[in-house]
Amino acid sequence: MNPERTALPLQLEQPLAPKRTRLAEFWQLFRRNRLSLAGMIIFAFFFAIAAVGLVLTSGSHPIFDPSQVRLQEKLRPPLSAPLLESLKPEERPSLSLYLFGTDDLGRDVFARMLQGAWVSLTVGFVAVGISVAIGIILGGLAGFYGQQHIRLEQMLATAVLLAGAGFLAAGPWTAGLALLIIGLAWLVWSISPWGIGRRDAPHRLLRVLQIETLMVDTLIMRFVDIMLCFPSFFLILTVVALLPASIYNIMIVIGLTSWEGTTRFVRAEFLSLREQDFVGAARALGVGNLRIIFRHMMPNAIAPVLVSATIGIASAILTEAGLSFLGFGVPPPHATWGNILSDGKRFIFDAPWLTFIPGVAILIVVLSFNLFGEGLRDILNPKLRERHS
């Protein structure tokens, strides 16, 4: 025994190993993976460009005007100087140079690429945000409350809710709204601690309503199976084609059709986490269910979600580009990388830059997201970690 130690009990409180925060450790590991590091740097760079591009191309007098048509200057190659004498002063490009050339209407491709960067970024983030939110909620429900049964009254309440929604869509919206509110109130009441079934039901007839039908887990996972039966790009294409063309519809549709994977592994994580001792300890201390879910289990389950979200952003950007390419993307005056490429494909032999610039840009951005995501996966999964001496 070291006498000095016993004399200074305060020092014992300090951890003996060199303390590193989680972030520092993370950074230490991340730095070794050069590809992922490059991915992250490009990702940050792209983020900055998209933000700057939004500022520079919006407003009534943008610095780079993506929709300025100059028919006499069409299909100029990259890095060519504009013919100043043929242009009115307000038509001149700001750099007095067509950095990426011009398209078939003489619009500055550089300005259009800047505008498109922001579109790609928002499509990726919003779509993945929607799908991750749905995935976490459904997966968490299936994983944590999965063994509980749905009672008959809850089915009835859902039926009322759906009927309300149906009425609302079909026309008589006052009746629809009333049914919607009734159904919602009924559901909330039956989940809440005062609902039927938490205590003994007062009446024999009401006991019928307590019949347990399906397990929550069965319901959610069968729903996932159903959604996985649809070929995803075909489903997205169908829905996008039926809805009016708008950038928000595309984000929402991509988000609503890509949550199945997240649901599955959030459920798997929750199933294994809820059996672990720290959750048992929290429950023994009397911590509420919601606090256990959000404070204790979610931080442990979030790592694989983050990884798949990063890769999901990449695939959402690709999907949006594919939709724009087929003509179902963001409507025309707005430039996206997909529709610059799709417009340029007619001039592929005369003006290859119209194909190559947006194509390479999409490739680099998607690649950086994929590399970053894979790097995250390696770091967050201790089993895959290579041993460093």
Partner 1 sequence: MVAFIGRSLVQKIVTLFFVSVVSFLIIHIAPGEPSQVDPLNPKFTPEMVERFRQAFHLDQPLHVQYAYFYRDLLSGRTVSWKDSQPVLRKIWERFLNSLPLFIVGTLITWTISFPVGIHSAIFRGGAYDRSATFISYVLISVPGFFFAYILIIFVVNQFHVPVIGMETFGMGDSSWLFRVNDRLWHMLLPSILGATGGIAVLSRYVRSQMLEVEGQDFVRTARAKGLPWERVHYHHALRNALLPFVTMFGLILPGLIGGSVIIESIFSWPGLGRMAYEAILARDYPLILTINFIAAVLVLIGTLVSDLLYVIVDPRIRL
Query: What residues line the site for partner 1 (CB under 8 A)?
Result: 35, 169, 222, 225-226, 228-235, 237-239, 241-244, 314, 318, 321-322, 325-326, 338, 341-342, 345, 348-349, 352, 355, 358-359, 362-363, 366-367, 369-371, 374
| Coil/strand/helix, residue 41 | helix
Q: How far is the CB of 321 from partner 1 (least distance, A)?
A: 5
SS3 content of the chain, % helix, strand, coil (to 5): 70, 5, 30
- Nearer to partner 1 among residue 37 and residue 326 (C-beta): 326
- Nearer to partner 1 among residue 49 and residue 318 (C-beta): 318
**Distance in angstroms (rounded) separating the CA atoms of residues 83 and 64:** 17
- The letter for the amino acid at 260 is E
Packing angle between helix 109-144 and helix 216-228, nearest 10 degrees? 150
Q: How far is the CB of 168 from partner 1 (least distance, A)?
A: 12
Which residues share a beta bridge with 98? Answer: 80
**Distance in angstroms (rounded) separating the CA atoms of residues 384 and 36:** 15
- Nearer to partner 1 among residue 279 and residue 354 (C-beta): 354
Q: How far is the CB of 33 from partner 1 (least distance, A)?
A: 11
**Distance in angstroms (rounded) separating the CA atoms of residues 337 and 353:** 13
Pick the closest to residue 197 from 258, 156, 153 (CA basis).
153
Whether residue 77 contacts residue 347, with contact meaning beta carbons closer than 8 Å, is answered with no
- Nearer to partner 1 among residue 19 and residue 383 (C-beta): 383
- Nearer to partner 1 among residue 52 and residue 162 (C-beta): 162
Assign 3-class secondary structure to 3-25: HHHHHCHHHHHCCCCCCCCHHHH
Q: For tokens 């190993």, what's the residue?
A: 17
Q: How far is the CB of 65 from partner 1 (least distance, A)?
A: 26
- Nearer to partner 1 among residue 279 and residue 330 (C-beta): 330
**Distance in angstroms (rounded) separating the CA atoms of residues 170 and 374:** 47
Q: How far is the CB of 270 from partner 1 (least distance, A)?
A: 23
**Distance in angstroms (rounded) separating the CA atoms of residues 147 and 139:** 13
- Nearer to partner 1 among residue 40 and residue 297 (C-beta): 40
Q: How far is the CB of 370 from partner 1 (least distance, A)?
A: 5
The widest CA-to-CA distance across the chain, in whole angstroms, is 92
Q: How far is the CB of 178 from partner 1 (least distance, A)?
A: 21
